[in-house]
Amino acid sequence: MLPSVVLAAELQHNFNSPAFNGQGYSSHVLTIKQLEDQAKEKNRAAVEALKAKAEAEAANTPTARFIANLESRIYSQLAKQLTDSMFGEGATCTTRGVVCGTIPDIGGNSISWKLGDGSDNGMIVITIQSLTNASDITTMKVPAGTFYF
């Protein structure tokens, strides 16, 4: 028997992935999270683009264009008739503070007008109120004597 020298060392194994060894793990997780968020945002943007394209195509049909044009003309005529009744010859607004006219429902809104009194003296006060939300009120004040031609 011949003696021989035997050398031994502890086996060392290191993982290359930070998910296993813990070194740089937080930046690894952060990178993965950022990639996931970017992919989700890209998908969300693609869905929104498709919705916008579909809405644009739906609004650009001949029927939709006709309806939009018809509504525009009806509102234009209505505005002219309201203006004539407020400011033209034979205007219906003659008593201060009393509502001269009302349109109870047009496009989900109620429109009324009156000849102002007090601090609104000399003004026509037009009030537009939402029928679905009573607190949604728009008030316009127009000088009454300036629109006679």
Domain membership flag for residue 40:
yes
Domain count, the chain: 2
Task: Categorize the per-residue pLDDT at 35 as very low, low, confident or very high, splitting at 50, 70 and 90.
Answer: very high
Q: What is the pLDDT of residues 61-91, one digit of tens each?
A: 888 889 889 989 988 888 887 777 776 676 6
Does one domain contain both 133 and 116? yes
Domain membership flag for residue 4:
no
Q: What is the pLDDT of residues 125-137, one digit of tens each?
A: 888 898 888 888 9
Helix (H) or strand (E) holding 90: none
Domain membership flag for residue 6:
no
Does one domain contain both 66 and 48? no
Average pLDDT over residues 80-105: 76
Does one domain contain both 100 and 42? no
Domain region containing 116: 62-146
Crossing angle between the packed helical segments 62-87 and 25-59, to the nearest 10 degrees: 70
**Cβ–Cβ under 8 Å, residues 32 and 24:** no
Does one domain contain both 66 and 138? yes
